[in-house]
Amino acid sequence: MNNLSSSADATTFINPNQDTRITQGSQVQLHFEVSLENGTVIDTTFSRPEPVRLTIGDGSLLPGFESVLNNLRAGDTRTAHLDPEQAFGEWNEDNLQSFSAAQFALSEPNPEVGMMMEFEDKGKNTLPGVISKVTDEEVEVDFNHPLAGQPVLFKVQVFKVTPPGQTGVQLM
């Protein structure tokens, strides 16, 4: 490998080649799009002037999305179908919780089906929930991810890959 090193700023540059593929710990610049199978776009960065930057394995992408990126390199484009378990998980009935309507009225006097609210768990972490059922006696909240149980399409265009342990890639 043709490495260049600058002792003044301790930046190591490498020339991109066949070995500059995405692996665990790679720093990547890319555009992505997540859509439903019917074409509804859920999230996209393609309209942004600059690609997003992330490090593979840092938790900013779900593992199923990261697996699509493995072994890609700058210039690659890929569209992958992800089953629910690879994307946002299967819908789980255990993630439904019921609250008494009287107790719920203390924080939201007029709950409506489809209303998204933030809740706090015992560890003081914020959890989003969607009201799924309202009766005179109880309010049911769905804590599943809104895309749980749905397959998605993940489209990605890779612009730059910096291998683990490197701080930059010299452009040719």
Q: What is the CATH number of the domain that holds 53?
A: 3.10.50.40
Do 56 and 25 lie in a common domain? Answer: yes
pLDDT value at 138 more than 80: yes
| Separation between Cα atoms, residue 160 and residue 30, nearest integer Å | 7
Q: What is the CATH number of the domain that holds 99?
A: 2.40.10.330
**8 compared with 85, residue with greater pLDDT:** 85
Do 102 and 78 lie in a common domain? Answer: no
Decide: helix, strand or coil at residue 102.
Answer: helix
**Model confidence over 111-128: pLDDT tens digits?**
999 999 998 888 998 989
| Separation between Cα atoms, residue 33 and residue 156, nearest integer Å | 7
Q: What percent of the chain has pLDDT over 90?
A: 72
If you average pLDDT over residues 127-136, what whole number do you get? 94
Do 84 and 7 lie in a common domain? Answer: yes
Do 84 and 97 lie in a common domain? Answer: no
Q: Which domain holds residue 138?
A: 93-142
Neighbours of 137 (CB within 10 A): 9
Q: How distant, in Å, are the alpha carbons of 23, 38, 52, 80, 159 from that of 48?
A: 25, 23, 9, 21, 14
Total domains, the chain? 2
Q: What residue type is 139 in one-letter code?
A: V
| Separation between Cα atoms, residue 153 and residue 33, nearest integer Å | 8
- The per-residue pLDDT of the chain, averaged, comes to 87
Per-residue pLDDT, 46? 97
**Model confidence over 94-110: pLDDT tens digits?**
999 999 999 888 888 88
Using the 8-state DSSP alphabet, how is residue 26 labeled?
-
pTM: 0.74
